[in-house]
Structure 1
Amino acid sequence: MLVLRSSDASPFGRKVKIAAHILGLFDRLQIVATDTADPSDAIRQQNPLGKIPALILEDGTVLYDSRVIVDYLDHLAGAGRIVPIEAARRYPALVMQALADGILDAALLQVYEKRWREAPLHSERWTEHQAGKVARGLAALAETDLSGETHVGHITVACMLGYLDLRFAGAWRADYPSLVAWLDDFAERTPSFATTRPKG
């Protein structure tokens, strides 16, 4: 078995889970709940950054982060299934993944600002700086062609929008109806988007 260290709410872990479902590899995953804030959690030995997701292979090798893990799963499934091989499709897919990952990073930093810093130390300037990245990223995605066969970029965009629903009450939806329509279609075509939805 492959061991996936993750948490229910992690959008990056969700990306790996959806990829595994699409690739027919989900049954080979043992998902182990992880608390990155707990100094005694073994994740700090498995990934020196103490971050999730991390994938522990059968020989004990640990892969991280989500981009590396998804690439490995795609390779395991025969290569080219969700990480395109030919340059004309590969690099747009990887750039789309990078953009969605970057939006997620900025969204997470806003959440962590409130979760990890005492209220008197909250920086409105810092939060607005991160919110600007999210807004610009969403605007760029709204102008991006998201059609075509599902690849890693699409999976990442879906998980990112799902995280914005979870932690920001879906505030993005009013401004980006085209992304709402795309996500609805993705969810309909990809059953694992519903089965991997965080519980809260």
Structure 2
Amino acid sequence: MLVLRSSPASPFGRKVKIAADVLGLKPLINVEATNTADPDDSIRQQNPLGKIPALIIEDGTVLYDSRVIVEYLDHLAGGGKILPIGEARFPVLRMQALADGMMDAGILQVYEHRFRPEKYRFEEWKAYQAAKITRALEVLEHTTPATVTSASDADAGNIALACALGYQDLRFSGVWREKYPRLVAWLKAFEDAIPAFKTTEVPPAGFPTKEEPLR
């Protein structure tokens, strides 16, 4: 049995969970709740960076980060499933990189809110991170990816994008939806085609308090 260290709100963990479901590997994975803010959580021994997701494979090896885990899951499923082989691979990797960057920028804004007392928060830093997401959304609205109509259309890039948009709903009240109707329609189609997107959803919560697990 594989063990996935993650938390429900982690967009990177969600990406791995959806990938596993699309690949038919969900029954092989036990998801173990993780709190990266807890110094006693074993995640710091399993991943020296103390970050999630981390996948413990059957020989005890721990894989991280989400891109490596997704690659491993695709390998387990026979290869070339959600990470194409050949030239088609690179647009998928590029989309995954863009979506991962959006998630990183969102998480950094959340951390600025969570870890700094209000009087020490660096609003320019938050704006710098928010601008990355805005630029990505603008590009994606005008070059919207192909619609996902079934699991066979899913790949690492569009799974990551769905999770990035979902994280905007979770932590930023879905305000992106007001300006990007083509992306809204794209995400609705993805949700309809990929049931795991709904089953991995966490209700919108805004920025976490210090008592909540990270992400």
Q: TM above 0.5, one fold? A: yes
> Per the shorter chain, which TM-score range?
over 0.9
Q: TM-score, normalised by structure 1?
A: 0.97
Give the TM-score normalised by structure 2: 0.91
Q: Does 1:178 align with 2:182?
A: yes
CA distance in 1, matches of 2:142, 2:17: 27
Give the corresponding residue for 2:63. 63
Q: Write the mapping of 1:1-200 to structure 2, written as runs, cut at 5 A.
A: 1-87=1-87, 89-147=88-146, 149-199=153-203, 200=205
SS of equivalent residue, structure 2 residue 32: strand
RMSD after superposition: 0.9
Q: Which runs of 4+ in 1 moved over 6 A?
A: none
Deviation at 1:144, TM superposition (A): 2.5
Q: Quick one: distance in 1 between partners of 2:164 and 2:146?
A: 17
Gaps of 5+ in 2: 148-152, 206-215
CA deviations over 1:146-189 (Å, ceiling 9, x no partner): 11622110000000100100100000001100000000000001
Structure 1: stretches of 5+ with no match in the other structure: none
Q: C-alpha displacement at 1:143, in angstroms?
A: 2.3
Percent of aligned pairs with the same amino acid: 61
Over residues 118-168 of structure 1, what are the superposed CA-to-partner deviations in whole Å (9 max), with x where a residue is unaligned?
111101111111111010011111122411622110000000100100100
What count of residue pairs does the alignment treat as equivalent?
A: 199
Task: Write the distance in 2 (CA, Å) between the matches of 1:194 and 1:145.
Answer: 21
Q: Specify the code of the residue in structure 1 equivalent to 2:176.
A: W
Distance 1:91 1:140 in 2: 18
